[in-house]
Amino acid sequence: MATDKIVSIADLQAAASKILPSSTREFFNSGATDQVTVHENSAAYRKYRILPRVLKDVSNVNTTIPLFGRDIAFPLCVSPAGLQGMAHPDGELATSRACAKYGINMGVSSYANHSVEQITTAGNEVAPIHHVMQLYSMKDREKEKRIIRRAEAAGCKAIFLTADSPVLGVRYNEVRKTFQPPAGLAYPMMEKTSEQIQQQSHDDGFKSFNDDSHSWAREIPWLRSLTKMEIWIKGILTPEDVETAIEYGCDGVIISNHGGRQLDETPATLDVLPACAKVARGRIRIHIDGGIRSGNDIFKALALGAECCWVGRPMLWGLAVS
């Protein structure tokens, strides 16, 4: 499809899906087991209709919102997603430049194929942009500390602790295709070269780093003792966990099910948003991701209690066609 004919995220997905090799396409597009949650994340937005009031002056609308100490252009940011080098050689550098160009913020995955220093520099060369550093709870706490220190020194404003991944989701397509990151891609934040990555299966790689004994009491005070960056929890789906995040003094939560890639048959994030926003009562920031594919979707999420939306796959599809 000619890029000037791409007018929607569905078009972008179709165009990217034609270009990408099948194992990359499936790694990006699919989710865990039967992908019930992948589909419901987007379907949930179709359950709501928009009732407009008319004869309102819209000649001068302001879509900005404050986030991490400055205004972003509109209530959308780019979720942390690993392995962007599979979509485009510039990977996260290109994402950072695009976010800067459009005045929004970016999450940097611990499994980025470029370093946080390179990524923050790339965006800031275009325009001022804020980044957040995504973290998993790691077995090697010294390595985790080094990631935090590097992120802080590179100017990141927050840690997004991903809380929904004690183990990597069971993704049938990754098993069927024996998914392996392509040779040549490294994880500089995890201090892993391409050669080291190739020596392990994708799943074993994740297991070898990830600490499945994680807990609120272990992670949050420890992170707080190490950094002045804001601490957000990514992957919350219940009002009870919003309340716990408040008790632990977290700055924000991302209502997220990891785009349906972790535990399948968790509810669509939009469906749990109102109850989560209700308990927050302005005591903690509430953002959302999962299945957001249009301005209408952003409008609905904001109407149901989110302050800002984040997107994962649309950015990967954009990288693939650029």
Ligand X SMILES: Cc1cc2nc3c(=O)[nH]c(=O)nc-3n(C[C@H](O)[C@H](O)[C@H](O)COP(=O)(O)O)c2cc1C
Binding region for FMN: 80-82, 109, 134, 162, 234, 256, 258, 289-293, 312-313
Q: Is 202 in the site for ligand X (CB under 6 A)?
A: no
The window from 36-44, 201-209, 234-242, 291-299 that contacts ligand LXCWX6NK (CB under 6 A) reads 201-209
* Residue 31 near residue 264 (C-beta atoms within 8 A): yes
Determine whether 258 is an active site residue. Answer: yes
Structure tokens at 288: 């959302």
Residues 162/234, Cβ–Cβ less than 8 Å: yes
Q: Are 123 and 223 in contact (CB under 8 A)?
A: no
Beta-carbon count within 10 A of 149 CB: 12
Catalytic residue among 114, 130, 258, 287: 258
β-strand partners of 254 = 234, 287
Instruction: Report how far apart, in Å, the C-alpha atoms of 46 and of each of 31, 149, 275, 291, 300 are.
Output: 20, 42, 19, 11, 10
**In 3D, which of 275, 291, 289, 213 has the Cα closest to residue 242?**
275
Least distance in angstroms from the C-beta of 171 to ligand X: 10
CA separation (Å) from 92 to 71, 85, 202, 273?
22, 7, 20, 29
Q: Which of ligand X, ligand LXCWX6NK, none binds 306 (CB below 5-8 Å, type-dependent)? A: none
Residue 234 contacts ligand X per CB under 6 A: yes
Contact flags string 282-311 toward ligand X, x per CB under 6 A? -------xxxx------------------x
Radius of gyration of the chain measured on its C-alpha atoms: 19
d(CA 88, CA 90): 5
Residue 243 contacts by C-beta under 8 Å, 6 or more apart in sequence? 279
Among 74, 111, 160, 310, which residue sits at the site for ligand LXCWX6NK (rule: CB under 6 A)?
Answer: 111
- For residue 206, the partner it binds in ligand X, ligand LXCWX6NK, none, with Cβ less than 5 to 8 A by kind, is ligand LXCWX6NK
Query: Does 30 engage in binding with ligand X (CB under 6 A)?
Result: no
| Least spacing, CB of residue 44 vs ligand X, in Å | 11
Q: Of the two residues 80 and 205, which places its CB atom closer to ligand X in the complex?
A: 80
Is residue 172 close enough to count as binding ligand LXCWX6NK by CB under 6 A?
A: no
Instruction: Summarize as ranges the residues that interact with ligand X (CB under 6 A).
Output: 27-28, 41, 79-82, 109, 111, 134, 162, 234, 256, 258-259, 261, 289-292, 311-313, 316
Instruction: Summarize as ranges the residues that interact with ligand LXCWX6NK (CB under 6 A).
Output: 82, 111, 202, 205-206, 258, 261
**Active-site residue numbers?**
258
